[in-house]
Copies of this chain bind each other. A is one copy, B any other.
């Protein structure tokens, strides 16, 4: 890790901490000699493979460089200032946030440029941003607007408690049946004109989130994604023609699976006009073992730029747990559950296993070992009758959604490729 901030302190409150360790500095872990396969962590424990994260960070650095885009990684995925430091060091434009809680954490950890990819709504949320804009003239903050009603709310709040400079906003576009965002560009343009005329607001760009489509089959998904991105460019062009923007306009979209289309469409638009293109992928750094894995494999097949980078993204995140019971020949119960690993997109996958002992090593696990149910603290697996697994064995689980796995861990352990613990990161959920 390239982070130079004071090292985090880990204590007994954190899942994974060894029985006899009450407190340790994360910077002491490289020398502590802890090893997953020697059972030095109290399982369940979540680990991050450093080599995979370094590879992924470098992959995205090259991808954005080659495609003419910048990235404001969505910090919500990991909410880990330790990882933000790596992302900023690798050239991120800023960080994306979903809530003012996120913004507050970013600010406490020195992030200067923040894109709130959300409406800014509510007394305390607005008050925090206003106070922070006033406190730090360098704070470069952006948020979204998707209705005249929210312009009314922002103007009323800013008039009552002025931050001393206009609030930078982007118009958000959406699509029928989708999440937030204007359904049609004419209504959006009308509000853009109002923002441009407001002394309290400045219009800085246009935004959309194509990721809402990511679960849809590609044949129907891709045309809808491209249509949405084209609408972003269309609105940005219209606002440019009317000189509604302040400064160099931003066009931004991009979740973790379709960002190639965003980069392609927006970079083409930026050849014609001076747009700053911002992607907002959050998952690329830690990636996963199933959902985004499949989606990014599709992205690499689709995108010549991504294909030119060789190896794709690697899954960095594993949750290790013990086999507790094999109460039937073909049923295994392991000691991790909904409190430890995501189950919202697909069940965890099984990456490998190890039998504790002096020669413990991580062994491959046949694909016919499947997680079929999670309770709060237990996983049910269907296994073949000839499976070697038995109580006390350790199993590594891969995730299908990093965001809803990360938020179950206040600390994750960094490991090398041999599963030796080399450090740890803290999260702020």
Contacts and interface: CB of A to CB of B under 8 A. Distances in A.
A356 B123 CA distance: 9
Contacts of A266: none
Nearest to A157: B392
Interface majority SS (helix, strand, loop, mixed), chain A:
loop
A127 interface: yes
Contacts of A127: 18-20
B325 A147 contact: yes
B392 A121 contact: yes
A153 B127 CA distance: 57
Interface in A358-377: 375-377
A357 to B, nearest CB: 11
Interface residues of A, number: 76
A210 interface: no
A29 interface: no
Given A18-B124, A122-B39, A13 B428 contact: yes
B377 A324 contact: no
Interface string A40-80: 11111000000000000000000000000000000010000
Given A335-B118, A344-B343, A125 B407 contact: no
Contact of A101 (B15, B344, B356): B15
A174 B99 contact: no
Interface in A307-346: 322-328, 331, 333, 335, 338-339, 343-344
B39 A124 contact: yes
Given A119-B324, A180-B333, A429-B339, A42 B100 contact: yes
A150 B328 contact: no
Nearest to A108: B12
Contacts of A153: 391-392
Given A12-B108, A119-B324, A404 B338 contact: yes
5 contacts: A19-B125, A121-B324, A122-B392, A179-B380, A180-B325
